[in-house]
Amino acid sequence: MQHPAVPELAHTTTRPIHWLATAAALAAVVAGSAVLQPDAATAAQTGPQTHPRATAGAPAPAPDPAAVDFPIACGPVEAVVKKKTSGDLDGDGKPETVAVVHCEAGSGTPPDGIYVITAPRPGKPRVVATLVDPKDRQNVTRIALRDGAVTATLLGYSSPDVPRCCPDRKDKAKWQWKDGTFERTTPAEARSV
C-alpha cells in the first residue's frame, strides 16, 4: 500500500541551527534568572506574644499528669488519666495541663474529675485547681483548651436514683483564669439527653 505524498513540513525537520537557537534561548533564561533575584525574605512575628516573665529559649514542657498525686479517693484501685490537654491558661508563658481523671474500675462508669496541673520551677508538678470534683458524679465526654479557656462536655444525673450506665443530663462548661482563680464563665445549663 502506498502512502499519499505529503509535503515535508519545515518545522518537523531539525537542523543544527534549531539546536543552536534552543541553547541560546535557554542560556538567556538562566542568565536572566541569576540577575533578577527576588529580595531577601524577612519574617515578622505575628503570633501571640509571650509574657515578659517567660523564659527565653526552648518552650517549657507541659506538666506530666503521670507525676501528680490527684485529690481523688480511689480506695484500693488507682487513679487513671482519661484525657488531657495542655496550654497557657494564666498568661505567664508556661503551659498548664488539664487532666480528666477517674478511679480505675473493672466495670461501670466511674465519675470523672477535671484538674489543672502546673509545674513550678524547680519542683514537682502539682494540682492547682479542681474544675469538676468526682463527688459531683459527672463524666467528661470532651475537653479542649483554646484561647486560654478550658471547655468540656459533661454528662450527669438528675438524681441518685438514675443508674450510672444512663446519664440523663448534658452540660457544656467553660472555665477561664480571672483574678487569680478559674471562673466558670458558662453557667451550668443541664438538659436532658
Q: Domains of the chain (ranges plus CATH)?
A: 65-192 (2.40.128)
Contact call for residues 91 and 51 (beta carbons, < 8 A)? yes
Average confidence (pLDDT) over 88-97 = 91
Q: Looking at the predicted structure, is the pLDDT value of residue 148 above 70? A: yes
Average confidence (pLDDT) over 158-168 = 86
Give me the pLDDT at residue 88, please. Answer: 93
Q: What does pTM read for this prediction?
A: 0.66
Q: Give the range among 45-49, 168-172, 179-183 with minimum mean pLDDT.
A: 45-49
Please list, in sequence order, all residues whose beta carbon lies within 8 angstroms of the beta carbon of residue 35, skipping any fewer than 6 positions away: none
For residues 181 and 179, give the distance between their C-alpha atoms in angstroms, rounded to a whole number.
6
Enter the C-alpha cell of residue 80.
487513671
Rounded to the nearest angstrom, the gap between the alpha carbon of residue 85 and the centroid of all alpha carbons in its chain is 7
Q: Looking at the predicted structure, is the pLDDT value of residue 138 above 60? A: yes
Of 73, 70, 91, nearest in space to 81 by CA: 70
Average pLDDT, the chain: 78
Enter the C-alpha cell of residue 191.
438538659
Average confidence (pLDDT) over 108-126 = 88
Give me the pLDDT at residue 189, please. Answer: 52
Average confidence (pLDDT) over 57-83 = 88
User: What share of the chain in percent tops pLDDT 70?
Assistant: 66
Give me the pLDDT at residue 179, please. Answer: 87
CA dihedral 25, 31, 35, 37 (to 10 degrees): 80
Neighbours of 59 (CB within 10 A): 12
Q: Looking at the predicted structure, is the pLDDT value of residue 53 above 70? A: no
Q: Which residue has the higher pLDDT, 160 or 37?
A: 160
For residues 126 and 123, give the distance between their C-alpha atoms in angstroms, rounded to a whole number.
9
Helix, strand or coil, per DSSP, at residue 89 = coil
Give me the pLDDT at residue 55, please. Answer: 45
**How would residue 14 be classed by pLDDT, with cut points 50, 70 and 90?**
low
Of 110, 107, 111, nearest in space to 130 by CA: 111
Please list, in sequence order, all residues whose beta carbon lies within 8 angstroms of the beta carbon of residue 167, skipping any fewer than 6 positions away: 139, 155, 156, 157, 193
Give me the pLDDT at residue 108, please. Answer: 74
For residues 140 and 191, give the distance between their C-alpha atoms in angstroms, rounded to a whole number.
15
Q: Looking at the predicted structure, is the pLDDT value of residue 84 above 60? A: yes
